[in-house]
Amino acid sequence: MTSSRHVTPVDDATFEAEVLRATGPVLVDFGAQWCGPCRALDPIIDRIADEQVGRVKVVTVDIDEAPETAVRYGVRAAPTVMIFEGGEKRAQRVGLTTKEKLLALL
């Protein structure tokens, strides 16, 4: 998964506190260790997290370690990136994508 210190790993136990109760927008990267496209997306997620400090919270969810959250939000493919704000899902993008496309979701 990502290596930026500005990316917070979350799981089934912490998703509500870290994402749903967050103030401001939250970019949620649903991925898995075994997923090649997820690993390709990791540096993009890191750059967004580093460049958007204080504006956007960035978290990662390993779908193997947080199966309840993945099912709850209908994650059927990895990577899937969702934008949450005010406890609600606002946008979603499935598959490997660009930094610009992810920023456009915000």
- 54 CA to centre of own chain: 16
Catalytic residue (one of 7, 26, 32, 38): 38
* Residue 55 per-residue DSSP state: T
pLDDT in tens, 43-100: 999 999 999 999 999 999 999 999 999 999 999 999 999 999 999 999 999 999 999 9
Q: Is 66 among the catalytic positions?
A: no
Domains annotated on the chain, with CATH: 7-105 (3.40.30.10)
Is the distance from CB of 94 to CB of 40 less than 8 angstroms? no
* Residue 95 per-residue DSSP state: S
Q: Is 63 among the catalytic positions?
A: no
| CA–CA distance, 87 with 90 (Å, rounded to integer) | 9
Task: For residue 82, give the nearest of 54, 53, 105 by alpha carbon.
Answer: 105
pTM of the model: 0.96
Taking only Cα atoms into account, the Rg of the chain, rounded to an integer number of angstroms, comes to 12
The yes-or-no verdict on residue 103 having pLDDT over 80 is yes
